[in-house]
Amino acid sequence: MYSERVMEHFRNPRNVGEIEDASGVGEIGNPVCGDMMTFYVKIENGILADVKFKTFGCGAAIAVSSMVSEMARGKTIEEAMKISNADVAKELGGLPPNKMHCSNLGADALHKAIENYLAKQSGAEKKDCRCPYCETPVEGGAICAPCKTSGHQ
């Protein structure tokens, strides 16, 4: 059973879409449940001025993405990096035990987007491709052996 807050964010998700000139992008997926989340951040003067997401998954995954985007917008990089799966679940009024992994995905995708931004700023942006499901390094967009998907992250 989902809380009313989860249902509200599922029915009316906030900040859906992508930021064309994003400062950072983070993508994560879970092959077990099939959820895929991509977060886009626009960072100005150390503040997350805009946060958007695209999620393919269950209602809990969509609600989590919406809540994470709301929680992160307007925060400093340091504050946004402290958003945890427990924080997300609490803000949503709880999640069923079998859906708690969704809150991990949302916070992780946000953190990956921020890490992508920080890597770009330091000139150390990752050049390798990774499987979007299991994070296995995949050479030049080749097929991931464990998951049989192409690496494009």
Catalytic residues: 33, 102
Cα–Cα distance between 23 and 129 in angstroms, integer?
Answer: 19
Residue listed under structure tokens 């809990």:
60
Beta partners for 129? 138
Cα–Cα distance between 27 and 85 in angstroms, integer?
Answer: 16
Cα–Cα distance between 31 and 22 in angstroms, integer?
Answer: 26
CA angle 43, 44, 47 (to 5 degrees): 70
Cα–Cα distance between 123 and 107 in angstroms, integer?
Answer: 24
